[in-house]
Structure 1
Amino acid sequence: MRPALLTRLSSPVAASRVRLLAKSSGIRYASSTLPTSPSTRYLEPTHNFSPSSQSPETATALSLGEQYILPVYARPPFVLSHGRGSWVWDTDGRKYLDFSAGIAVNALGHADPGVLEVAATLFLREAGTMRTQASTLLHTSNVYHNTRAPQLAELLVTLTQQEGGLGYAPGSTSPSAKVFFANSGTEANEGALKIARKVGKDRWAASTGGKADDPSCPKIRIACFKNSFHGRSMGALSVTSTEKYQAPFRPLLPGVDVGTLNDYAGINGLVGGDTCVVIVEPVQGEGGIHDAEEGWLRALRKRCDEVGAVLIFDEIQCGLYRTGSLWAHSKLPVDCHPDMVTMAKPLANGYPIGAVLLRNNIASVMTAGTHGTTFGGSPMACAVGHHVLSRLSSRSFVGHIEEISGYLGERLALLPKWFPGILEPTVRGRGLIRGLGFKDGSQAGEVVRMARERGVFVLTAGKDAVRLVPSLIIEKEEVDFAVDVLEGCLSSVPSAA
């Protein structure tokens, strides 16, 4: 049984955050508090990034990075030094509201006291063991058991049974599912695809009397969708059907078929008898914040059952309470649910971890030696993950997410009305994963840059959207600041006039 939240947060500083969240969850952000016109406070930049404004420390860090780090990131010319809550500071003392949460990672914000306490306590305990026994349990590998991984796995499964998902209706007591731990979302997706390929081969062998390792087995095809993002390793990249990511690295994994999200008519042609797996994001994140419709997910599930294909939901960005429920699909009927769910980003609030949650009938094909990882499921990662998930799943925290996401939605809904020449009429997404669609896609990146110059981090998504994925601890005043800045940016782009 999951321990009570406050008993897991013994330090006063950690518990104070929970009390703040519990208090905030009772606030009703009424529509009467909404502005009646766009803010004009942030028409001009407040942060100067010119080379002349850089301290020697910043200049040295930028120079070393340029000289020695592989240049695969287009980074702005400042260096982050520390953070607290939803805010970060750079080495020159400038302050920013991180409305991107480290790309939807820092669910509890930066430098959360409770997370730091768990990590420090475990580290000091194992360091003490090292001093007295000349050994360490910071890493044991998966050759041996540790106590932390089973606890986090149990919590993931029991929460899914309680709240719904993976074929469980809320409050289910059905047999337990299984978990595989990895180190990242990409690794979680790679593992899920491997497992699904094995399921497909086994099902083909069972139906034909053949052997699963027969190289002529046709049930190997993979279906994915346009505007998807599943990772950058070769397998995950092969199902990330976005030209700018794939083009430099072709040829990729063969046997991949690409469909269109919410295209009902295309499902049967996409998913056929040779399809072993379908992978989809219930809310596409990187690809533009597009929601998969309930009816379409039901039709996709039905088609997978007809042809014996495994259905994977990639909830790496949209899962773990970002939409207001444990999974983006938790509140959907079970006939819309997947066979596997992949997760990563917020699970340990920035400490590297990924995981696959899978139904027992899928898990049964995996035996010792069929998959593995050196670092996945480490004691530290799983201890932090258990703490984070215990916090996120508390009723007060979920209540806070519901309240603050409702308020954010109300503020954002005003923007298309005030800037109809710039924005699409409907704000994309739900909960705390939102997207502003631009009629001129080139303006999305410009608004991201302008917001940064005014002290707010947001992201692009797809070809034409600004993505808002703040920490789940975000408060009303921080929403107001972020949206006020966006209003100033939108008022300042050329077509605003």
Structure 2
Amino acid sequence: MIASVLPTYNRAPLAFVKGAGSWLEAADGRRFLDMGAGIAVNALGHSNPDLVATLTEQAGKLWHVSNLYQIPEQEALADKLVAESFADTVFFTNSGTEAAELAIKMARKYWYEKGQPERIEIITFEGAFHGRSTGAIAAAGSEKMVKGFGPLMPGFTHLKWGDHDALRAALTDKTAAVMIEPIQGEGGIRVVPDQCLKGLRDLCDETGALLIFDEVQCGVGRTGKLFAHEWAGVTPDIMMVAKGIGGGFPLGAVLATEEAASGMVAGSHGSTYGGNPLGCAVGGKVLDIVADPAFLDQVNARAGFMRQKLEALVAAHPATFEAVRGQGLMLGLKCTCAPADVVNAAYAQNLLTVPAADNVLRLLPALNISEADLAEAVARLDAAATQLEQG
């Protein structure tokens, strides 16, 4: 008999009732150290007092009016994002998947309005994850994502990750855009080298193709800069963000230049809930905190501390771990076994982690996690690895 909650997840037998900072309390009273942060969502930890106060204040005033009217909180957050990024304009969504859908539409509509409707092809890369809508799975193209869900949306060219020759050959007069994650999350914490992002920007400039960055997981301070692409010194034409921008409240956005967004006019896109006063009030507070250079300096300091600890962990457990991957506080441990085995062993140590492809264990803690909690997390990973190695 099917469960009342559609069984599309293999859920761990854990139910949490409250949280504070980087710690969660289960229904049975056990305390867990959270190194997943709701898959990079709780950027400022659980029950952050600043976010609680902001949400509570806004909830007492106004929740929802729809985008039929001006929304001051939405305009304020858009102004902040424009001021802190390459973008000239922002559309708010409720999720990264919705942001991906708009990014795809925006790129194709741009060329349609330019009188080149044949430019519909969007180049994406093996290992990508852009969401689970029909458009987003067509963009990713992996068998795991698309099997059984055909017919798929056409107009995507899938390339091997890191194949520069194939990329150059694939860029034609039919190419609308190239869409890429500066760091693949679900794909196994694979970082696109700075020189490759620069080369990609140059290729798009040469051919006119739009460049779309998916920073749903790697953006909003996760790498030690507000947006991951800043490390390479390049900018996209369109960018998707979500996860951390709401600090736990469902919120996403598409950021774009005026030129890239020029095809999106009144009636070309919409959202009933997107950009509501509640979400945008919280998002505004998140951005106030995370965009502060002093906060980002702290993220980088914590990231350096954590990476040093993880490198020592890998050296101590070569039978379980092969290498450390990632940037900032978006780190991965390449495992010699299935990462699910390490996840389960970590549960026994009251530690929460996240599996990914390519035998990688993801570590995505709150950006304001303490060094003491990071050290404790690595100590528990050490105990989990010892447990695995002893059988």
> Normalized against structure 1, the TM-score is what?
0.76
2:335 matched residue in structure 1: 438
1:413 matched residue in structure 2: 311
Choose which of 46, 53, 72 in structure 2 pairs with 1:117.
53
3-state SS of paired residue (2:260): helix
Choose which of 142, 145, 164 in structure 1 pairs with 2:67.
142
Choose which of 332, 343, 347 in structure 1 pairs with 2:232.
332
Counterpart code for 1:150: E
3-state SS of paired residue (2:92): strand
Within 5 Å, give how 1:87-106 maps onto structure 2. Answer: 87-106=23-42
Q: Tell me if the contact between 1:100 and 1:457 (Cα under 8 Å) persists in the aligned partners.
A: yes
2:13 is the alignment partner of 1:74: no
Q: Tell me if the contact between 1:258 and 1:270 (Cα under 8 Å) persists in the aligned partners.
A: no
- Measure, in 1, the Cα distance between the counterparts of 2:273 and 2:225: 29
2:88 is the alignment partner of 1:177: yes
- The alpha carbon displacement at 1:260 in A equals 2.3
Within 5 Å, give how 1:244-259 maps onto structure 2. Answer: 244-259=144-159
1:392 matched residue in structure 2: 290
- Measure, in 1, the Cα distance between the counterparts of 2:230 and 2:18: 35
Gaps in structure 1 of 5+ consecutive residues: 1-62, 127-137, 161-165, 167-175, 206-211
- The alpha carbon displacement at 1:473 in A equals 1.3
3-state SS of paired residue (1:223): strand
2:279 matched residue in structure 1: 381
Counterpart code for 1:405: A
- Measure, in 1, the Cα distance between the counterparts of 2:148 and 2:336: 28
1:56 matched residue in structure 2: none
1:149-192 deviation digits (Å, cap 9, x = unpaired): 110001111112xxxxx3xxxxxxxxx61101111000011001
2:109 matched residue in structure 1: 198
1:372 matched residue in structure 2: 270
Share of identical aligned residues, percent? 39
2:55 is the alignment partner of 1:155: no
- Measure, in 2, the Cα distance between the counterparts of 1:119 and 1:417: 44
Comparing 478-487 and 252-261, the one that deviates more: 252-261
Residues 297/420 of structure 1: CA separation in 2 closer, same or farther (3 Å cut): same
3-state SS of paired residue (2:268): coil
- The alpha carbon displacement at 1:379 in A equals 0.9
Comparing 311-320 and 262-271, the one that deviates more: 262-271
- The alpha carbon displacement at 1:247 in A equals 1.5
Within 5 Å, give how 1:221-240 maps onto structure 2. Answer: 221-240=121-140
- The alpha carbon displacement at 1:393 in A equals 1.6
- The alpha carbon displacement at 1:272 in A equals 1.8
2:183 matched residue in structure 1: 283
Structure with larger Rg: 1
1:41 matched residue in structure 2: none
- The alpha carbon displacement at 1:359 in A equals 0.7
- Measure, in 2, the Cα distance between the counterparts of 1:151 and 1:363: 19
Aligned residues between the structures: 391
- The alpha carbon displacement at 1:249 in A equals 1.4
Q: Tell me if the contact between 1:267 and 1:303 (Cα under 8 Å) persists in the aligned partners.
A: no
- The alpha carbon displacement at 1:271 in A equals 2.1
Choose which of 368, 377, 384 in structure 2 pairs with 1:473.
368
Choose which of 479, 482, 488 in structure 1 pairs with 2:377.
482
1:350-388 deviation digits (Å, cap 9, x = unpaired): 111110110111122211111111111111111110011
Q: Tell me if the contact between 1:200 and 1:309 (Cα under 8 Å) persists in the aligned partners.
A: no
1:48-73 deviation digits (Å, cap 9, x = unpaired): xxxxxxxxxxxxxxx9xx73110011
